[in-house]
A and B are shown apart, each in its own frame.
Chain A
Amino acid sequence: MARRVLLIEDEPNIIEAVSFILSRDGWTVHTHSDGASAAERVRAHPPDLVILDAMLPGRSGYDILQELRDAEETRGIPVMMLTARGQARDRELALSLGATHFMTKPFSNAEVLDRVRALAGG
């Protein structure tokens, strides 16, 4: 069975490009664009990996990450944060909240694929 990635991102063209390259690599890609209901979505259908944008409508990606790490059923899911800000304090914040990896936009497709394979054991 294909492994599942949940991409939580609100930019449609980024969603389409990342979904395409992951699907082509054999992953089942689900997407979610609303920050407010993102944690609930993860709990309802836990994926093998979450790719989480830091800036989402409705709720910050950092808040979502914290909720995922606080809940028993989602604590162990690898989360890769995406952010347009590459400052040290953003990286530190993400990692301190429990992000498994932190990636700065604009990223390369190869970088995303390599990291997804490594984090979800694909």
Chain B
Amino acid sequence: MAEPSSRRMLAGGRIRARRLDAGMAQAELARQVGISPSYLNLIEHDRRRIGGRLLNALARALDLEPAQIAEGAGGARVERLSAAALARGRPTSDAEAFASRFPDWAALVETQAEMIETLKAQVAGLSDRLAHDPELSASLHQVITAATAIRSTASILAGNEALDRDWQARFHRNIHAESLRLAESSRRLAGYLEAPGEGDGAGAAALSPLDQVEAALDRLGHHVPALEGPDPAMSPEEVAKGVSGLDEAAQDILTVWLRTYRADAAALPVETVARGWRETPEPLALASRLGCALPRLLRRLAALPPGAGPARAGLVTSDAGGALGPRRALDGLTLQRGAVACPLWPIYEALSQPGRPLRALAMMPGETASAALCYAVSTIEAGPDWTAPPRMVAVMLMLPSDIAPAETTRRAVGPGCSLCPRDNCPARREPSLLPTPSRML
């Protein structure tokens, strides 16, 4: 709510405040608008009314709209600034003075206050969706019900007490039926979580810029023909602008990714890498043969058109802080972003040993869980000038485990501590949300 009129700034006060902010002497402003300093002094103390040509001249000299002097900051803006201040327990008495003296800053504060309210509404919408969405609730219920039946039945079969054959067969049938139900309900749940419905504003808005870029790259197949060849059809910026469904931050991230892509494509044409991979399907040997840096080749092997390189490939990049860039999953397998990722993935070890290539067969937990043949390396890039710190970047290519050479070192990795069932992991930093074997019957 705005302050009472007695506390609102009048036109003279707005002129004085703006002049002082501009560092302008009273005499200088008076000279510019063709009046005496003493007359301007009367105006500034609201002892003379102004209008017409003088108002326009003062507005021009102070880089304001005449209405901003005559009427002050818009009533609606002051109302919104006051509301924003009140919402955070701040005094509102200076709202109009602030809006009049710093109209650009006031507009920024107003915009940000609106954004905060919009984001709060989106968060509330998403929370409500998670708590009350009937489809999500039904899918989760199906998953948990099937898991309960499987766990309980499997425990009976795995127990020490003898079971007659009829019961064994019956319980095996039940487990089979429940496993099919679990597979179907899990698939539905994953589909629901990964693909917000069309027109679902809250879901779309909830995608982070990196999520948006990854979704766009998945649609492109991580290969961009317009940036290939010695004379590409488009620039990275043009390609990025043509990609729909990205906000401004996502556009920026994608543009950086596309610039790297273009540099890689210029240095390593598709035909060169494709022929090299057919003859030398081993990244380190191929990098040596092509005379290129290993990180560039790893990126390139994950960005070739179908049939030109590895049958399937995933890619992860990381900075020195462990923050991941846009990821390409290998058959759905990739690393989690942020501090929740498992630190045992080779890419993190590569960060501590710049320049040393690492190869490992990364094994996810579980008897039949997925695995990936990983090639990782990090490099240190010079800063833009002599004083800037160097920039460390790690790259990890992920290939199907069935092509791993027999001598490849196996390494246990996981989906992150909270989702990982491994007991006694030396890298565990928080308890798992899942029942670990020692806690199960």
Residues of chain A within 8 A (CB-CB) of B149 are 11, 13-14, 17
Q: Does B408 contact A (CB under 8 A)?
A: no
- With A24-B161, A109-B155, A109-B156 in contact, is A16–B148 under 8 Å at CB? no
Alpha-carbon gap, A38 to B170, bound state (A): 27
Closest to B159 in A: A109
* A residues lining the B interface (CB < 8 Å): 11, 13-14, 16-18, 20-21, 24, 55, 84, 105-112
Q: Which of B86-94, B139-147, B354-362, B364-372 lies on the face that meets chain A?
A: B139-147
Determine whether the beta carbon of A20 is less than 8 Å from that of B156. Answer: yes
Residues of chain B within 8 A (CB-CB) of A110 are 155, 441
The B interface is mostly helix, strand or loop, or mixed, namely helix
Determine whether the beta carbon of A109 is less than 8 Å from that of B441. Answer: yes
Q: Does B178 contact A (CB under 8 A)?
A: yes
Residues of chain B within 8 A (CB-CB) of A106 are 144, 147-148, 150-152
Residues of chain A within 8 A (CB-CB) of B440 are 108
- With A105-B148, A107-B148, A108-B151 in contact, is A17–B171 under 8 Å at CB? yes
- Using a Cβ–Cβ cut-off of 8 Å, how many residues does chain B contribute to the interface with A? 23
- With A13-B149, A24-B161, A84-B145 in contact, is A108–B155 under 8 Å at CB? yes
Residues of chain B within 8 A (CB-CB) of A18 are 152
Determine whether the beta carbon of B144 is less than 8 Å from that of A105. Answer: yes
Q: Which of A13, A20, A84, A108 contacts B441 (CB 8 A)?
A: A108
Alpha-carbon gap, A20 to B155, bound state (A): 12
* B residues lining the A interface (CB < 8 Å): 140-141, 144-145, 147-153, 155-156, 161, 167, 170-171, 174, 177-178, 435, 440-441
The 10 lowest CB-CB distance pairs between A and B, nearest first, are: A17-B152, A13-B149, A106-B148, A84-B144, A108-B441, A105-B148, A13-B174, A110-B441, A106-B147, A17-B153
- With A55-B141, A109-B155 in contact, is A13–B178 under 8 Å at CB? yes
Tell me which of B147, B440, B441 has the highest count of chain A C-beta atoms within 10 A of its own C-beta.
Answer: B441
25 A-B residue pairs with Cβ-Cβ distance under 8 Å, sorted by A, are: A11-B148, A14-B145, A14-B148, A16-B153, A16-B170, A16-B171, A16-B174, A17-B149, A17-B156, A17-B174, A18-B152, A20-B167, A21-B152, A21-B156, A84-B140, A84-B141, A106-B150, A106-B152, A107-B151, A107-B152, A108-B155, A108-B435, A109-B155, A109-B156, A111-B441
Q: How far is the CB of B1 from chain A (nearest CB, A)?
A: 36
Closest to A86 in B: B144
Alpha-carbon gap, A11 to B140, bound state (A): 15
Closest to A113 in B: B441
Residues of chain B within 8 A (CB-CB) of A109 are 152, 155-156, 441
Closest to B143 in A: A84
Alpha-carbon gap, A14 to B141, bound state (A): 13
- For the complex with contacts A20-B156, A105-B144, A105-B145, 6 further pairs of A-B residues with Cβ separation under 8 Å are A13-B177, A14-B149, A21-B152, A106-B144, A109-B155, A110-B155
